Structure formats: structure tokens, C-alpha cells
């Protein structure tokens, strides 16, 4: 007898059910428009699948999976040149090079799935585990054995997900926290934010703004993104290669495709000095939340003009002006993000290695290879 709950796996947005966006309204990163951009500009080592969860013929859940082949990444990261990094890179290439993410490895936060009220979380997780198993079999038939299966990112209070029996054989892990900036209800302008800062951080704010003197910040259109594409990719790669660890690099047309498909929900800001693009940042509107996306800058002007810190302040200023409730600053650069007011929020995920012996020790292996981040949390407010 056919089960009332079942799933379907799709390889392109063109295949999605017509009701898909009725569920994605609560998360733009599962919308057909965002997924179209992924269809046309996913990293070269990534294959996306889209999963529909059904009760009989009715769509009641949607999800995203990403397969990553780490053998196709030309650099895991150039910042930390040490023996530990070399060992980590060897292990990743030889034992965990094929990774199946149930979720979006390009973002921080629970962007893996949306369930309707008709789908109980435990039933939805069960269906996604079955879909993951089918995806692993599909890739195996193509000669790509999945080494590591990962579900990410969940808040620690999501007990109905964290305690799902399907995760019994998985290792629960936590990496760097998600830096989230909450916007106070009484802030209506940049001045309200600056007034809330303590003297030390008001001085930092003023000093950073003075450093950026002569730089013009410009909201860039689709045509302008296309015109500056070579420089944009140079600036992006310059920042990305200095990350402690990379599992992918964006395709050269990624920002163009995002702007094309997301329109006004994707914001691209260029920073120009004498008409030369020296940096950029990007934001994505997601309901009442602003998600910070990828950015880029050159080293020379970053040091001279505190470009990155000014970008963070500009993101705060825009979000207050437009009355968003919070900013997802994501991982990395934890201390400088906390200096503008972001707070660390722990998130957890689950991983399972296909080799039972390695899986027994995957927790110890993960802890020994995860880049250690030592940082001091700041509190910039009075």
C-alpha cells in the first residue's frame, strides 16, 4: 500500500511543482528565484538537488541538498600555512572529499527545509533521511561515493529536530557561532544606533568613517555588475583565499545571476575610489531579516581605509533605515562583528561518515581538524 507521506527529488528548478513558492515564502533561500540562480551559477564542484515532500499529492515540505566534490577545489584556504592545515587538507581530500549537505553550505542558518503545518517535524526529518539515502545511491551509480553526509544548521532550541532518532548514529557538531545583530525597536535611524554606542565604540565609528573619506558607495545595477565582473571576481577571490577553510569558490557569473533572478531582494554595493572599484558587499532581503552575503576588497585599501569595518556599519545603517528586525552576519571575523553589536548564537549540525569505523571516531577527527578560533566578544553598547 502506498504511504501517504513521500518525497520527490528534482535536478532543476524547471521540474519543481507549481506550488513550491507557496512554501518558500518564509525563506527566500528556498524560493524558485534563488534556486534558479543556483541552477545557473553554482560553484563548479557543487551539484544541487531540490526535494519536495508530499502528503498524497499535496506538497507540504521543500528542501535543498548540495553535493560537494572537494577534489575540485584548487585551494582550501591560504591563510593558515602550518602542519595541521596540511594534515587537514590531506584528510579532506582522501577521506571526506565527497560530501552531501542536506542544507545550504553557502549560508549560515537553517536554510535546509521548510515544512508546512501539515507536516510534523519528525515525519519531515524521516523523509529527508530517506531522500539523502536515495541521493547517495544515485551518486554511487555515477561513480561518486558519498563519504560524509551532513545536516546543517540548527538552533540549539530546536529540540524536535535535534532529538530526531534518525540522527542517532550521527555526530553532533558545532563550529563557529552565527553572528546575529538584533535591531532595537526604538532605532529609526543611524543616529539612534550611534547614540546607543559607548564612547569607545562611538569613537571607533567616527574614526572608521573618516578613513573612508573620498570613497563613493554605489548601489550597482545588473548592467553595472556585468561591466565590473572581472574586478568583482578578483576582489571576491582575494578575500575568499584568505579564509581558514574553503569548500567551494563562487562561479564567475554568480552575482550577476543572483541580481537577475532576485532583483530588488539582492543588493550589491560597490565602493569606488576615483572610479576604481576597490570593494563590494552584498545583502539579501529575507522577510524581516537581512542576510549578509559575500563581499570582496583589495588588501591595500582595506588596511588604509578600514573598508571591511565600514561595510559592517553600512549594513547596520541600511537595515535600521529599512526597519528590518535582525541582520545575519554569519560566521568568520567574529570579533570585529561583535564590535559593531552582533551577538554569537550557537548552531549545531549532524555528520555521518559512510565508513562505520571512521564514523566511530569522526568526532575526534573533526575536533582535531577544525580550525581553532580564539576571539574576544565585544559589547559596544552603553
Q: What is the pLDDT of residues 263-308, one digit of tens each?
A: 999 999 999 999 999 999 999 999 999 999 999 999 999 989 999 9
SS (H, E, C) 248-273: CCCCCCHHHHHHHHHHHHEEEEEEEE
Asked whether the beta carbons of 12 and 40 are under 8 A apart, the reply is no
pLDDT for 368 equals: 67
Question: Looking at the structure, do residues 114 and 169 belong to the same domain, yes or no?
Answer: yes
Quickly count: other Cβ atoms within 10 Å of residue 319's Cβ: 22
Compute the average pLDDT of residues 105-123: 95
Q: Are residues 152 and 19 in the same domain?
A: yes
* Residue 333 counted as domain residue: yes
Instruction: Based on the fold, state whether residues 188 and 43 are members of the same structural domain.
Output: no
Can you give the pLDDT at residue 317?
A: 97
| Spacing of C-alpha 359 from chain mean position | 26
The conformation of residue 47, written as its DSSP 8-state character, comes to E
Residue 269 belongs to domain with CATH number: 3.40.630.30
- 147 and 158 share a domain? yes
* Shared-domain flag, residues 158 and 300: no
Report residue 78's pLDDT band, with 50, 70 and 90 as the boundaries. very low
Q: What is the mean pLDDT of residues 25-45?
A: 97
Give 8-29 pLDDT, tens digit per residue.
Answer: 999 999 999 999 999 999 999 9
Please check whether residues 13 and 122 belong to one and the same domain.
Answer: yes
**Largest interatomic CA distance in the chain:** 71
Give the three-state DSSP class for 355. coil
Same domain, 41 and 166: yes
Please answer whether residues 55 and 9 qualify as being in contact, where contact means their C-beta atoms are separated by less than 8 angstroms: no
Whether pLDDT at 362 is above 80: yes
Q: Check whether 43 has a pLDDT greater than 90.
A: yes
pLDDT for 179-228, tens place per residue?
Answer: 999 999 999 999 999 999 999 999 999 999 999 999 999 999 999 999 99
In a domain, residue 375? The reply is no
Using left for φ > 0, alpha for ψ between -120 and 50, and beta otherwise, residue 231 falls in alpha
Distance CA 332, CA 369 (A): 17
Residue identified by cell 529527508 is 128
Distance CA 173, CA 170 (A): 9
| Domain ranges, residue 23 | 5-177+347-369
What pLDDT score was predicted for residue 242? Answer: 82
Same domain, 271 and 141: no
Co-location of 89 and 147 in the same domain: yes
pLDDT at site 93: 55
What is the per-residue pLDDT for 98?
Answer: 93
Task: Please tell me whether residues 186 and 66 are part of one structural domain.
Answer: no
Which range has the top average pLDDT, 243-257, 265-279, 347-361? 265-279
Q: Is the pLDDT of residue 83 over 90?
A: no
The answer to whether residue 79 scores a pLDDT higher than 50 is: no
pLDDT for res 217: 97
- 111 and 228 belong to one structural domain: no
Cβ proximity of 128 and 122 under 8 Å? no
Q: Are 59 and 40 in contact (CB under 8 A)?
A: no
Q: What mean pLDDT, rounded, does the chain reach?
A: 92
Q: Are residues 148 and 61 in the same domain?
A: yes
38 and 250 Cβ atoms separated by less than 8 Å: no
Residue 369's pLDDT band, with cuts at 50, 70 and 90, is low
Q: How many domains does the chain divide into?
A: 2
Q: Specify the pLDDT at position 61.
A: 98
Angle subtended by helix axes 199-211 and 307-321, to nearest 10: 110
Q: Is 319 helix (H, G, I), strand (E, B) or coil?
A: helix
On the question of pLDDT at 80 being above 60, the answer is: no
Residue 298 DSSP one-character state: -
Amino acid at each position: 500500500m502506498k504511504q501517504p507521506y513521500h518525497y520527490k527529488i528534482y535536478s532543476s528548478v524547471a521540474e519543481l511543482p507549481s506550488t513550491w513558492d507557496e512554501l518558500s515564502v518564509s525563506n527566500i533561500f528556498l524560493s524558485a528565484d534563488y534556486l534558479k540562480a543556483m541552477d545557473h551559477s553554482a560553484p563548479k564542484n557543487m551539484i544541487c538537488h531540490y526535494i519536495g515532500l508530499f502528503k498524497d499529492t499535496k506538497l507540504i515540505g521543500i528542501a535543498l541538498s548540495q553535493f560537494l566534490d572537494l577534489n575540485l577545489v584548487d585551494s582550501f584556504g591560504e591563510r593558515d600555512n602550518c602542519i595541521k592545515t596540511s594534515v587537514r587538507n590531506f584528510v579532506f581530500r582522501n577521506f571526506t572529499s565527497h560530501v552531501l549537505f542536506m542544507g545550504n553550505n553557502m549560508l549560515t542558518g537553517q536554510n535546509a527545509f521548510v515544512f508546512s503545518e501539515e507536516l510534523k517535524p519528525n515525519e519531515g526529518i524521516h523523509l529527508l533521511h530517506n531522500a539523502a539515502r536515495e541521493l547517495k545511491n544515485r551518486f554511487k551509480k555515477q561513480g561518486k561515493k558519498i563519504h560524509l553526509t551532513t545536516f546543517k544548521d540548527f538552533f540549539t532550541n530546536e529540540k524536535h529536530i535535534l532529538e530526531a532518532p534518525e540522527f542517532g548514529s550521527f555526530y553532533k557538531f558545532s563550529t563557529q557561532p552565527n553572528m546575529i545583530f538584533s535591531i532595537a525597536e526604538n532605532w529609526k535611524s543611524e543616529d539612534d544606533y550611534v547614540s546607543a554606542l559607548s564612547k569607545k565604540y562611538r569613537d571607533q565609528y567616527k574614526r572608521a568613517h573618516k578613513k573612508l573619506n573620498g570613497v563613493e558607495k554605489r548601489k550597482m545595477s545588473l548592467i553595472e555588475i556585468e561591466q565590473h565582473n572581472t574586478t568583482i571576481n578578483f576582489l571576491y577571490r582575494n578575500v575568499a583565499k584568505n579564509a581558514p577553510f574553503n569548500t567551494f569558490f563562487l562561479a564567475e557569473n554568480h552575482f550577476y545571476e543572483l541580481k537577475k533572478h532576485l532583483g530588488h531582494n539582492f543588493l550589491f554595493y560597490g565602493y569606488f575610489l576615483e572610479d576604481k572599484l576597490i570593494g563590494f558587499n552584498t545583502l539579501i532581503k529575507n522577510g524581516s531579516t537581512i542576510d549578509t552575503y559575500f563581499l570582496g576588497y583589495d588588501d591595500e585599501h582595506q588596511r588604509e581605509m578600514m573598508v571591511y569595518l565600514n561595510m559592517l556599519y553600512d549594513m547596520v545603517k541600511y537595515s535600521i533605515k529599512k526597519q528590518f528586525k535582525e541582520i545575519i552576519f554569519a560566521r568568520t571575523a567574529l570579533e570585529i562583528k561583535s564590535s559593531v553589536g552582533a551577538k554569537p548564537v550557537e548552531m549545531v549540525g549532524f555528520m555521518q561518515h559512510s565508513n562505520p569505523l571512521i564514523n566511530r571516531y569522526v568526532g575526534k577527527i573533526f575536533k582535531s581538524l577544525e580550525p581553532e578560533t580564539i576571539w574576544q566578544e565585544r559589547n559596544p553598547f552603553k
